[in-house]
Amino acid sequence: MALFLKTLVFSLSTAQGLLAAGQAEIENHLEMGRKLLAAGQLAEALSHYHSAVENDPKNYLTYYKRATIYLAMGKFKSALPDLSKAIELKPDFLAVSLLKEGNCSRAEGLNFQISQATPMLPQISPWDPEAKELRSECYLYLGNYDKAIMDLKPTTKLRNDNRAAFLKLSKLYYNLGEHEESLNQVRECLKLDQDDKNCFSHYKQVKKLSKQLETAEEHVKAHRYEDAIEKYKAAMKTEPNVEIYTSKAKGRICHCLSKNKQPREAIDICTEAHQLDPRNIFILRDRAEAYILNEELEKAVEDYQEAKEFDSENEELKEGLEKAQKLLKQSKKRDYYKILGIRRNANKQEIIKAYRKLAQQWHPDNFQSEDEKKEAEKKFIDIAAAKEVLTDPEMRQKFDSGEDPLDPENQQGGGGHQHQWPFEFNPFGTGNFHFKFHFN
């Protein structure tokens, strides 16, 4: 009997030892899996969770944790069997049961279940990083990046040395076009380990792009538009795969070309930018201004009207639309640029050159018959008026805003009496003729 009891005690001790060893091995796999997950080594983490499941097939948490790895890897169908098993072992496990309600065998079914379950996941534990990571993955699957970021951020403090979360946050911000915040997050990763290859590689990319974009904006503020354009082009080469940077760069190039009075080039690039970002009011505004420079006033009005539909309270758009409408109305009357045959971005030297050429051509002394002289006088007056307005900065600004400074209707006091404009001039500064005209 004593021998039997000794044998039984030995057997129980051995069994307990084996159980303890087995449990220790499971715990070791789970801990290694957690560390590898934190380091962003998903495939290696998955291998340890496989071992944990094999060694403890009755533990619902091992299935749940392996499912979270599958979700992080985007393998939603692979996660479903583990979620099902976790529910089977523990039906009251809220996180999994919510994700599994309904027909989850189809992708759209999973989408629905995730959308229903995701807001309720914090009920498990507000301080559980795995729950927050799972919900973050769910939000990413649903395309809700802002909420995914909100859930992922706390995990950087809930886990020690959570470089994987910082890197993931950096990449999320980067793909959203927020390169400055992306840079902040990847720097946090490097503070934890400056030799982290994944973080350093991403840091170099973000740093280079950020520097190019920041320098470009400095050039814009200083009105160095050509330099800014070159930097934006360089930025598109640095990051050709994330569309938001191409869209933003083209939008800013559109702005620079419009400001630099290069209307044809501006219209082309603005149109490309508009296709990428059709609700961007600034692209529409800049293309409208380019259309004005290119004397396509109806299109300018259309762009300002479209932009105003997106932001009806924007004062700049209201003023721009009013100006374009005035210019369109004005174009059907007298257009000083057309009279001199020059573009709206012509400088003073080009204006005077065009004026002298036309003044010589249409001087009344060049014509013999009375009818020809009268026609020449009208032309000559318009030519002189155009030169007078376009070489005077204040009057030109008024005209470019849609107001004719020589139109009697725009004179103070209304149209009661017409503006008189006597002048004597020699367009070339030499010669002995004096020709007096009255503008009416």
Q: Which tokens sit at 80?
A: 């479903």
Structure tokens at 199: 């973080």
| Cα 179 to Cα 211, 215, 232, distances in angstroms | 10, 14, 14
Tell me the domains of the chain and their CATH numbers.
16-89 (1.25.40.10), 243-332 (1.25.40.10), 336-400 (1.10.287.110)
End-to-end C-alpha distance for the chain, whole angstroms: 136
Q: Quick one: pLDDT at residue 410?
A: 63
| Candidate from 83-92, 239-248, 302-311, 426-435 with smallest mean pLDDT | 426-435
pLDDT at 118: 52
The predicted structure's pLDDT at residue 419? 38
57 pLDDT band (50/70/90 cuts)? confident
Q: Is the pLDDT of residue 416 over 50?
A: no
pTM of the complete model beyond 0.85: no
> Which is higher by pLDDT, 400 or 263?
263
Compute the average pLDDT of residues 118-144.
69
* The pLDDT of residue 190: 96
* Under 8 Å between Cβ of 112 and 102: yes
Mean pLDDT computed over 357-380: 87
18-56 per-residue burial string, b: 16 or more CB within 10 A, e: under 16: eeeeeeeebeebbebbbbbbbbbebeebbbbbebbbebb
Q: What percent of the chain has pLDDT over 90?
A: 44
**Nearest Cα to 213, choosing from 186, 169, 256, 248?**
248
CA distance 285 to 343: 20
pLDDT of amino acid 176: 95
Q: What is the mean pLDDT of residues 209-225?
A: 97
In angstroms, the CA 161 to CA 163 distance is: 6
Q: How does pLDDT run across 342-364, given as a tens digit for each residue?
A: 988 899 999 999 999 998 988 88
pLDDT interval class at 420 (50, 70, 90): very low
Q: Work out the percent of the chain whose per-residue pLDDT is above 70.
A: 78
* DSSP codes of every residue in 199-234: HHHHHHHHHHHHHHHHHHHHHHHTT-HHHHHHHHHH
pLDDT of residue 93: 56
For 252-309, how does the pLDDT look when each residue is reduced to its tens digit (9 = 90+)?
999 999 999 999 999 999 999 999 999 999 999 999 999 999 989 999 999 999 999 9
Distances (CA, A) of 19 to 16, 24, 32, 62, 65: 5, 8, 20, 17, 22
**To 5 degrees, how large is the angle CA 199–CA 204–CA 206?**
90
Q: Which residues of 130-169 are buried (b: 16+ CB within 10 A; e: fewer)?
A: bbbbbbbbbbbbeebeebbbebbbbbbebbeebbbbbbbb
Determine the average pLDDT of the residues in 416-430: 38
What stretches of 277-406 show up as alpha helix (H) in DSSP? 281-293, 297-310, 315-331, 336-340, 348-362, 370-390, 393-400
Q: Greater confidence, 70 or 349?
A: 349
Mean pLDDT of 169-178: 96
Which 3 state secondary structure label does DSSP give 311? coil
pLDDT, position 272: 97
Q: Looking at the predicted structure, is the pLDDT value of residue 171 above 60?
A: yes
